[in-house]
Amino acid sequence: MKALAALRAPRRTEVPAAVADNGIDVEILDPREGQDPSGWAKFRKLAAPQPMWDYGLLRLEAWLSRNPPVLAVMREGGRVLGACVVMLCDPVRGSVFAPGPSARGSRLSPRWAEVYLPWFSGHPAVVFRERVDADSRRELLRIFERRLAEYAGLGLLGVIYRAMPSDIAELVAGRGRARREIDPTTVLHNRFGSVDDWVGSLRAPVRAVVRDALGRLDSLDVTTGKGRKDLDAAELATLLNEHRARQDARAWRSGQRARIAGLHLDTRSPIPTAYLAEFLRRPTVLTRTYREPSGRLVAFQVLFDTPNGLAMPYWAALPRQQGGRPRLHLDGYAHAVRELIDSGRPELTAGRTLLDLKADLGFTTRTLHSVAVPRPVMGR
């Protein structure tokens, strides 16, 4: 592997993994077992700074999901070059939580794997060090597929790479592999000097609506902060899961589930309280809450900050019939734009739903693909 050989500069040796495939190995780890992988903290700083790649959060996610994730760590000589988060999906499990790591079930039971971040679908579940070139990434992903087939057993039907950017989709596509473009993720590039500049860039009818919405917060208690420990995570998780359930229900009624809520074959689980509590306490995670004077939670927004940009993974609000405020989400977007400008980050990403609304607010889109790889061609 010539391109990988070029990376073999002198360095501190980490605890080596088993060596295979010309000195390259992919280790499949269940986060519920053992400690953080060797070299994981250093790799995260370089290639996966988003909080959902924290091994402790992956552990919580695995314990509290019906289709628990495993982590595939790609190494060369003990150094981590890349990683994937993979859900092992059981078609008959339904809403029941998965068995513990010591009782994974028969290796002959039919199931499939999804390379996917189910609660952050606008972010790819495959990451690499920047210096690993395209040919090396392709070879690492083929080795990953072979290791995954060995790990999951003969019952594995195949693997689906979901919501991948075009460069990753190109690497995993090929003969016998079905590739299709799916709903894009939304991106706002940082080209503004102030929130007023952003509002002024919008079309006149949208601009008027946004300005009107931003003047209607007097009766609400709005609190914003990073790493917040004052929140009732159960309260927020309930609001978030109800919000998502309404989005799905509207999509079914409109006959456009594939366009609006078709982010999954319903393989994801509800957001657990314990996971959300830990996520919101991370120092790079900013939470904005909207409450009535009585203390009732009306809405909340979550942003997280990385050197590559800000992301808005969560917004949830009460519907109008339960006392929700119309157009409150526009204040959330204005707040996100303010944070984008103040942080000097290059972009803000805001997920894969409500594409028309976000286009009106100045967002562009980034193409995403899914690639299905049946068992007979995995690793080829």
CATH of the domain at 97: 3.40.630.30
Does 159 share its domain with 241? no
Q: What is the pTM of this model?
A: 0.88
Does 210 share its domain with 172? no
Does 272 share its domain with 358? yes
Does 46 share its domain with 17? yes
Nearest CA to 380 out of 141, 105, 88, 205 is that of 141
Does 216 share its domain with 174? no
Does 263 share its domain with 280? yes
Pairing assessment for the beta strands 309-317 and 347-349 based on DSSP bridges: parallel
Structure confidence at residue 295 (pLDDT): 96
Number of domains within the chain: 2
38-94 tens-digit pLDDT? 999 999 999 999 999 999 999 999 999 888 999 999 999 889 999 999 999 987 655
Does 199 share its domain with 280? yes
Does 108 share its domain with 118? yes
Structure confidence at residue 266 (pLDDT): 63
Task: Name the residue range of residue 62's domain.
Answer: 2-182+369-377
Residues 258, 183 contacting (CB under 8 angstroms): no
Structure confidence at residue 247 (pLDDT): 73
- 148: amino acid identity, one letter: L
Give, as one character, the DSSP assignment of residue 93: -
Structure confidence at residue 261 (pLDDT): 35
Does 24 share its domain with 113? yes
- Average predicted confidence (pLDDT) for the chain: 88
Spell out the per-residue pLDDT of the chain, length 380, in tens: 544 444 443 333 233 333 345 678 999 999 999 899 999 999 999 999 999 999 999 999 999 988 899 999 999 988 999 999 999 998 765 555 666 665 455 567 889 999 999 889 889 999 999 999 999 999 999 999 999 999 999 999 999 999 999 999 999 999 999 999 999 999 999 999 999 999 999 999 999 999 999 988 888 999 999 999 999 999 999 999 999 888 766 655 554 444 433 334 567 788 999 999 999 999 999 999 999 999 999 999 999 999 999 999 999 999 999 999 999 999 999 999 999 999 999 999 999 989 999 999 999 999 999 999 999 999 99
Structure confidence at residue 9 (pLDDT): 35
Does 85 share its domain with 138? yes
Q: How far apart are the first and last CA of the chain?
A: 16
* H/E element, 309: strand 309-317
Does 127 share its domain with 160? yes
Pairing assessment for the beta strands 285-291 and 111-115 based on DSSP bridges: unpaired
Structure confidence at residue 97 (pLDDT): 60
Does 231 share its domain with 139? no
Residue 181: phi, psi to the nearest 5? Answer: -80, 140
The rounded distance, in Å, linking the Cα atoms of 370 and 351 is: 16
Q: Which residues pair with 215 in a beta bridge?
A: none
